[in-house]
Amino acid sequence: MTSNTPQPVTFKPSGPLSGKISVPGDKSISHRALILSTLAIGKSRITGLLEGEDVLATADALRAMGARIEKKDDVWTVHGVGVGGLIQPENALDMGNSGTSARLLMGLVASHGITTTFTGDASLSKRPMGRIIEPLSRMGADIQARETSDHKACMPLTVRGICPAIPLEYRLPVASAQVKSAILLAGLNTPGITRIIEPVLTRDHSETMLRGFGADIQVETDADDCRIISLTGEAELKPQKIKVPGDPSSAAFMVVAALIVPGSDIVIENVGINPTRTGLFDVLRDMGGDIRFAKKRTVGGEPVADIHVRHSALTGIDVPAKIAPSMIDEFPILFIAAAMASGQTITSGLHELRVKESDRLSQMAKGLELLGVKLTEKEDGLTIEGSGGKTLSGGKAKAMIETALDHRIAMSFAIAGLATKSGLAIDDITPTQTSFPGFENLLATLAS
Ligand code: S3P
């Protein structure tokens, strides 16, 4: 996993970016495709799967619990064991840097009669797991986690699953697709109806894919605009052929690169544009970004398009807090766009950013300050004074940007480097392997 030796890299100022590219498969959809294929009876085929470390951690864990998962040419084949058919893994499951693997698989194990320990890297071991432990414990699972000095439940942790588990009705206290998905996965092998009340809409790939695999899942909206998701347990899932679209969260880096480098004009083909994921593109358009979706189509129940982006003069805006869940992973790269805009960009409602792969508000603030950007860090957001399109200083005294085992911090500052006077060094590029293998090469093809 990301235990690789750190590799510092300098990103140099760039001439106009041009060309047509595609980005690797969607990380969220890839995890879910492997998991639900494992729970179907028979052989599913997946193309476009993200072959990043996070998804490979999920694949390895599923293999350890009985799935046969193989790759030939571009096709991944999963021989599913059926809902309830997972077996006890022999060793602890190493989740590397991946919160999605850890949380979704904890849900899966919770309603099977197996016991397993989950471990992760230094970043994942700091992330809060109480939000998953609480609902899964209510379903009957026994979860023992390490307690931090400030009394947070963190990894490593051991889940002793229970079968049959108790169906749960649960109102999500945090807007989290991972918590929602963990409960739904636990609900698949639980008799009766598992019901989730979701006051704030988060990415809905699990619901869409569960329906595609033949689960009985109903989604309604109540009078208070909450989504109510009801899943009938002891489901029988049918194997599927899945085409994973390009990841909008990866495309985001290339979109901002094209917006901030003068003269750029690029197309990113085959990107998922599920509205629960595209908040960044809406915000950038409001800032004056020329971003168009072409050839809109639906692939495997998910909306997809080619994204055409041209360099644009950006203007800072006040980003409404309610858009955050639809761009929760995109704030680091939005902050880079904001640093190049004219005027002020204000963000708020971003407490969740402090518990991602790193504390993203603090890491971004530190890095941007090194670049000479004026900003204010609040508890729940950053306010950034943009340079009005002027190149950034390139790093105080050749300081290196600290990536803190966070792929999105690394890639955000890599893109910022294109808009510096003399280049920008980041201390470690290896975390990009978790979600965007080939990031540097792809960026280089746009610049050549
Ligand atoms: C994800 C949900 C989000 C997101 C993460 C992937 C998922 O996390 O940040 O990168 O695939 O469900 P939260 O559920 O913690 O918001």
pLDDT tens profile 288-329? 999 999 999 999 899 999 999 999 999 999 999 999 999 999
Please give the model's pTM, rounded to 2 decimal places. Answer: 0.98
Task: Show which of 224, 243, 262 is a domain's final residue.
Answer: 243
Query: Can you give the pLDDT at residue 442?
Result: 98
Segment 87-115, tens digit of pLDDT: 999 999 999 999 999 999 999 999 999 99
Q: Which atom of ligand 1 is nearest to the CA of 175?
A: 16
Confidence (pLDDT) at 396: 60
From 243, 273, 301, the end of a domain falls on: 243
Residues 260 and 237 placed together within one structural domain of the fold: no
Structural domain total, the chain = 2
Atom of ligand 1 nearest to the CA of 181: 12
Q: Which domain does 336 fall in, by range?
A: 9-25+245-447
Q: Is 403 exposed, middle or buried (0-12, 13-18, 19+ CB in 10 A)?
A: buried
- Alpha-carbon distance of 295 to 308, in angstroms, equals 10
Return d(Cα 189, Cα 191) in angstroms, integer.
7
Q: 115 with 200, same domain? A: yes
Is 66 domain-assigned? yes
Say if residues 398 and 427 touch (Cβ distance below 8 Å): no
Nearest residue by C-alpha to atom 5 in ligand 1: 100
Are the beta carbons of 266 and 21 closer than 8 angstroms?
A: yes
pLDDT at 399: 76
**Torsion region of 327: left, alpha or beta (phi above 0 gives left; psi -120 to 50 gives alpha):** alpha
Residue 124 Cα to ligand 1 midpoint, Å, equals 13
Same domain, 159 and 215: yes
User: Are residue 173 and residue 229 in the same domain, yes or no?
Assistant: yes
Q: Are residues 225 and 296 in the same domain?
A: no
Do 234 and 303 sit in the same domain of this protein?
no
How far is the C-alpha of 409 from the C-alpha of 404, rounded, in Å? 8
Assess whether the C-beta atom of 250 lies below 6 angstroms from ligand 1.
Answer: no
Q: Which atom of ligand 1 is nearest to the CA of 329?
A: 9
CB atoms within 10 A of CB 302: 22
**Dihedral sign, Cα of residue 250, residue 401, residue 97, residue 284:** negative
Residue that is written with structure tokens 């999500």 in the block: 172
355-367 tens-digit pLDDT: 999 999 999 999 9
In this prediction, the residues of the chain whose per-residue pLDDT falls under 50 are 1-2
28 lines ligand 1 (CB under 6 A): yes
Domain shared by 141 and 284, yes or no = no
pLDDT attached to residue 96: 98
In this structure, how many other beta carbons lie within 10 angstroms of the beta carbon of residue 119?
16
The residue to mutate among 26, 27, 28, having the most atoms of ligand 1 within 8 angstroms of its beta carbon, is 28
Claim to verify: residue 234 and residue 279 sit in the same structural domain? no
Among the candidates 221, 243, 265, a domain finishes at 243
CB of 391 closer than 8 Å to CB of 15: no
Q: Is residue 1 one of the residues assigned to a domain?
A: no
Please check whether residues 179 and 259 belong to one and the same domain.
no
Please indicate, yes or no, if residue 98 is contained in any of the structural domains. yes
235 and 249 in a single domain? The answer is no
* 100 ligand 1 Cβ < 6 A: yes
Verify whether residue 380 is a known catalytic residue. Answer: no
Residue 171: CATH number of its domain: 3.65.10.10
Indicate the top mutation candidate among 26, 27, 176, 249 to test ligand 1's pocket, ranked by most ligand atoms within 8 A of CB. 176
Contact 254, 446 (CB under 8 A): yes
